[in-house]
């Protein structure tokens, strides 16, 4: 049976066409399957990106809330600290003001005391040569040179003896008694002596009289535990004083031995000036003690003020560190947001790499 060639050709072409159709259908199905798989991967990647963005947004909101909470807490701490420190500083300044007021008052007392003590007053010199003259002139000199609280006239000692004047001085040296003695009769005899014999007798009588006065003053007006170890014998005449020191040296030395110092109006004035200086120094030391005490208290207040300022400085340093840490956290959140904004659709591996958590070095 003979087969037609054309028929065979047509049959072959039909077979080839069928094969092509089959192959084309297979290839198309494979391509559609691959495209479907790729679209599925892209959908998964997009979903992962959406989930990551949602998570990051939640973290950013939480970080912002934490930051706001920390800032509120820090602001409250700073406000409370500043209020407390302000109150303490106000109290300290008030105390300092009171201390300064006390110091000013003490300074005014010193100024007034200096004006009273330094001003020299005229001292009258009475040249009378009678018995009452000694006490009158002693009264004038002492009352003109010293404040009323520094002396007392006709002071009765514990021994019962009455001193013409008692200078009240602090220990040492202690109170000093002054007795006004004036050997008027013997001195008049000495001045009126015409012959050498009368002069010798008058000199002997004058020396005996003055020594008797020295012994009496030493025995009566030097009281252990009540007065100082010395006393003053006041001679209201410069002439008698000069006569003693010029011609009766042994009498003056007797006074030295018994610690009875013979003074005239001039030398008593110098002695009273020394007493006034001693009293002034005592009062100034008392005021200086007040000032020193107040200055010590003020220094304590200044030390407490310095401690409180140091504590306030520590609070400010801590606040600065907290703000710096918050700034670092906000910078990290901002950088992460910038990465999310810059992220483009791409391969899953690239997306995973960009969304991966930072390493330990980057976290620092």
| pLDDT per residue as tens digits for the range 169-181 | 887 778 888 888 7
How far is it, in rounded angstroms, from Cα 138 to Cα 179?
9
Domains of the chain, residue spans: 5-82+313-363, 121-263
Ranking 119-133, 193-207, 334-348 by mean pLDDT, the lowest is: 119-133
To the nearest whole number, what is the mean pLDDT of the chain?
76
pLDDT of the residue at 4: 61
3-state secondary structure of 178: strand
pLDDT of 122 higher than 80: no
**CA 322, 317, 310, 95 torsion-angle sign:** negative
| 34: confidence class by pLDDT, cuts 50, 70, 90 | confident
Share of the chain above pLDDT 70, in %: 81
What are the strands of the beta sheet with 231-234, ordered from one edge? 151-156, 162-167, 176-180, 231-234, 260-263
Give the CA distances from residue 226 to residues 66, 266, 292, in Å, rounded to whole numbers and listed in that order. Answer: 83, 27, 31
| 193: confidence class by pLDDT, cuts 50, 70, 90 | confident
Mean pLDDT of 236-260: 86
Mean pLDDT of 124-152: 70
pLDDT in tens, 325-347: 888 888 887 887 777 777 654 44
Helix/strand/coil (H/E/C) assignment for every residue in 229-278: CCEEEECCCHHHHHHHHHHCHHHHHHHHHCCEEEECHHHHHHHHHHHHHH
How far is it, in rounded angstroms, from Cα 108 to Cα 285?
14
pLDDT of the residue at 354: 52
pLDDT of the residue at 224: 83
pLDDT of the residue at 131: 45
pLDDT of 357 higher than 60: no
The answer to whether 190 and 240 are in contact (CB under 8 A) is no
How far is it, in rounded angstroms, from Cα 364 to Cα 360?
6
């Amino acid at each position: 049976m003979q087969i037609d060639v054309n028929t065979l050709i047509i049959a072959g072409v039909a077979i080839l066409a069928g094969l092509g159709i089959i192959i084309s259908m297979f290839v198309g199905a494979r391509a559609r399957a691959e495209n479907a798989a790729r679209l599925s991967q892209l959908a998964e990647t997009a979903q992962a990106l959406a989930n990551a963005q949602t998570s990051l947004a939640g973290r950013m909101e939480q970080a912002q809330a934490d930051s706001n909470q920390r800032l509120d807490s820090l602001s409250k701490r700073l406000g409370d600290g500043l209020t407390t420190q302000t109150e303490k500083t106000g109290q300290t300044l008030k105390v300092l003001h009171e201390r300064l007021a006390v110091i000013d008052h003490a300074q005014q007392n010193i100024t007034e005391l200096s004006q009273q003590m330094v001003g020299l007053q005229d001292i009258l010199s009475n040249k009378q040569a009678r018995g009452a003259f000694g006490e009158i002139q002693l009264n004038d000199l002492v009352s003109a040179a010293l404040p009323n609280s520094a002396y007392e006239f006709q002071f009765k000692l514990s021994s019962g003896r009455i001193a013409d004047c008692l200078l009240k001085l602090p220990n040492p040296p202690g109170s000093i008694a002054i007795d006004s003695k004036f050997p008027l009769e013997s001195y008049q005899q000495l001045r009126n002596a015409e012959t050498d014999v009368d002069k010798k007798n008058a000199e002997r009588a004058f020396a005996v009289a003055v020594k008797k006065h020295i012994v009496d003053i030493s025995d009566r007006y030097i009281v252990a535990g009540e007065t100082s170890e010395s006393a003053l014998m006041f001679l209201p005449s410069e002439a008698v004083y000069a006569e003693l020191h010029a011609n009766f040296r042994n009498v003056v030395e007797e006074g030295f031995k018994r610690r009875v110092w013979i003074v005239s109006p001039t030398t008593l004035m110098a002695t009273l000036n020394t007493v006034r200086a001693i009293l002034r120094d005592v009062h100034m030391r008392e005021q200086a003690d007040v000032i020193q005490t107040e200055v010590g208290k003020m220094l304590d207040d200044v030390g407490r003020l310095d401690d409180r300022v140091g504590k306030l400085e520590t609070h400010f340093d801590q606040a600065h560190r907290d703000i710096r840490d918050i700034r670092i956290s906000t910078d990290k959140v901002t950088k992460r947001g910038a990465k999310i904004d810059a992220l483009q659709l791409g391969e899953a591996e690239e997306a995973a790499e960009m969304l991966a958590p930072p390493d330990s070095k980057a976290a620092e």
